[in-house]
Amino acid sequence: MTIRFAKLASQVAIAAAVVAYAGLAYAAEAIKIGVSGPFTGGSSSMGVSMRDGVKLAVDEINKAGGVMGRQLQIIERDDEAKNERGVQIAQELINKEKVTATVGFINTGVALASQRFYQEAKIPVMNNVATGSIITHQFDDQPENYIFRNAAHDSIQAPMIVEEAITRRKFSKVAILADSTNYGQLGRSDLEKALELKGIKAVAVEKFNVKDVDMTAQLLKAKEAGAEVVLTYAIGPELAQIANGMTKLGWKVPMIGSWTLSMANFIDNAGPGGEGARMPQTFIQQPTTPKRQSFIINYLRTFNPKNARIDSPVSAAQGYDSIYLLAAAIKQANSTDGPKIKEALENLKAPIDGVVTTYNKPFTAKDHEAITANIPVFGEVKGEKVVYAYEEDQKKASEVRVKDVNAKGALIVKK
């Protein structure tokens, strides 16, 4: 009996150990986060920089013990800046990969086409680059909204661009050149609204397509209309074609546009013609705070970009911050359940020290925008990199600008 009992006890112990091991394995299962963006093609400067910022944050969090004792695992997918590809990826990440949340979306059109699947699945989306004003309002007619953003939307940027051109630099005749994407055309509409508030109508409004290499016709119309400045809303290398087209025509007027003028594929392809271009920026690659210094050092050391310059600093910084925001929400919710994470995002209790800003209650149930109009500053292309356009902003760069829901300057987003 003693031998049988000992044998039985041994079997029970083994079974218990197997169950315990299985429980530990389950508890240690990685938390999957989708990362969707264009890692090839004309928008890849933004996509790759965003992805690398995400990787940096995930690596830091995992080395510090992860979230809820579990490691974060990113599931990368290249959407090629194509709406239909974004839709396929969304369905794959939701149904096959079973992601807890997703970050990314560089292109407004891809976001609008794809994020409805996450909304239906009740999986939070953190838009960290796409800026179309409608993005976080796409589901305003529904009782719950799973779409968040930590980028400066176009209803912030367009008034900034117009303020720079009309009020600060005293131009009265402006031309708008925007690409034919959702991003370009929604941005163009926001620019026209912002101009209207100043009592001004553009003397020329011209459109071009992605991959166009000759802007002569559009620029000639702007020149003949007497434009003193060109306002741009576009993605990819086509922005450089505008600068190069001006050089060929021997007509040089300032370029002021959305934040994409800070991308490496504009700066490098435009060369001297891109010097002086100005754009709103939530982050400029300068070590103005300890957090920014640490981020820049780690990014350059890890990814070794050309000329020690992040291809798209804004994308990298916002990608990095987006992961810390999600991680904080998962930790606070103590769950990977979508509705619980959404609820935590809407009521984050502890501040998050980010690269762009310190996020102190960045979201509420009715406000899913982390960035307000007081946070971005103007950058300028100078010496093949983006620097602060204004000395006063440079001097105050160590003072972290934080969210202010009463900040003036943004267009009202129609719901």
Whats the size of the chain, residue-wise?
415
pLDDT value of position 266: 94
Whether the Cβ atoms of residue 353 and residue 340 lie closer than 8 Å to each other = no
pLDDT value of position 408: 87
Examine residue 403 and state whether it is found in any structural domain, yes or no.
Answer: no
Question: Is the domain of 248 the same as that of 383?
Answer: yes
Question: Is the domain of 189 the same as that of 304?
Answer: no
Question: Is the domain of 214 the same as that of 79?
Answer: no
Examine residue 145 and state whether it is found in any structural domain, yes or no.
Answer: yes
Question: Is the domain of 148 the same as that of 159?
Answer: no
The CA-atom distances, in angstroms, between 79 and each of 38, 55, 316 are 5, 18, 17
The residue with tokens 């708008």 is 176
Examine residue 211 and state whether it is found in any structural domain, yes or no.
Answer: yes
Examine residue 412 and state whether it is found in any structural domain, yes or no.
Answer: no
- Record the tokens describing residue 285, joined without a space: 């690659």
Mean pLDDT of the chain: 93
Domain containing residue 217: CATH number = 3.40.50.2300
Nearest Cα residue to 378 out of 233, 168, 234, 177? 168
pLDDT value of position 11: 58
Average pLDDT for consecutive 10-residue bins of the chain (415 residues)?
A: 49 46 57 97 93 98 98 98 97 98 95 97 98 96 97 96 98 97 94 97 97 96 98 91 96 96 93 96 97 98 95 97 98 98 98 98 98 98 96 96 91 57
pLDDT value of position 42: 85
Q: How many CB atoms lie within 10 A of CB 68?
A: 14
HEC secondary structure over the chain: CHHHHHHHHHHHHHHHHHHHHHHHHHHCCCEEEEEEECCCCCCHHHHHHHHHHHHHHHHHHHHCCCECCECEEEEEEECCCCHHHHHHHHHHHHHCCCCCEEEECCCHHHHHHHHHHHHHHCCCEEECCCCCCCHHHCCCCCCCCCEEECCCCHHHHHHHHHHHHHHHCCCCCEEEEEECCHHHHHHHHHHHHHHHHCCCCCCEEEEECCCCCCCHHHHHHHHHCCCCEEEEECCCCHHHHHHHHHHHHCCCCCEEECHHHHCHHHHHHHHHHHCCCEEEECCCCCCCCHHHHHHHHHHHHHHCCHHHCCCCHHHHHHHHHHHHHHHHHHHHHCCCCHHHHHHHHCCCCCCEECCCCEECCCCECCECECCCCCCCEEEEEECCEEEECCHHHHHCCCCCCCCCCCCCCCCCCCC
Whether the Cβ atoms of residue 327 and residue 63 lie closer than 8 Å to each other = no
Examine residue 5 and state whether it is found in any structural domain, yes or no.
Answer: no
Nearest Cα residue to 257 out of 172, 179, 355? 179
Whether the Cβ atoms of residue 362 and residue 325 lie closer than 8 Å to each other = yes
Question: Is the domain of 245 the same as that of 382?
Answer: yes
Question: Is the domain of 294 the same as that of 316?
Answer: yes
Question: Is the domain of 195 the same as that of 268?
Answer: yes
- Record the tokens describing residue 282, joined without a space: 């939530």
End-to-end CA distance of the chain: 77
pLDDT tens column, 354-385: 999 999 999 999 999 999 999 999 999 999 99
Distance, CA of 206 to CA of 191 (rounded, Å) = 13
pLDDT value of position 235: 85
Whether the Cβ atoms of residue 64 and residue 55 lie closer than 8 Å to each other = no
pLDDT tens column, 239-274: 999 999 999 999 999 999 999 999 999 999 999 999
Question: Is the domain of 178 the same as that of 222?
Answer: yes
Question: Is the domain of 59 the same as that of 127?
Answer: yes
Examine residue 414 and state whether it is found in any structural domain, yes or no.
Answer: no
Distance, CA of 162 to CA of 154 (rounded, Å) = 12
Whether the Cβ atoms of residue 53 and residue 316 lie closer than 8 Å to each other = yes
Question: Is the domain of 291 the same as that of 241?
Answer: no
Question: Residues 326-347, buried b or exposed e (16+ Cβ, 10 A)?
Answer: bbbbbbbbebbebebbbbbbbe
Question: Is the domain of 383 the same as that of 250?
Answer: yes
The residue with tokens 């079973």 is 98
pLDDT value of position 16: 46
Whether the Cβ atoms of residue 330 and residue 341 lie closer than 8 Å to each other = yes
Examine residue 341 and state whether it is found in any structural domain, yes or no.
Answer: yes
pLDDT value of position 288: 97
Question: Is the domain of 108 the same as that of 34?
Answer: yes
Number of domains within the chain: 2
Examine residue 262 and state whether it is found in any structural domain, yes or no.
Answer: yes
Domain residue limits at 91: 30-152+286-371
Q: Is 207 exposed, middle or buried (0-12, 13-18, 19+ CB in 10 A)?
A: middle
Neighbouring residues of 271: CB distance < 8 A, sequence distance ≥ 6 = 244
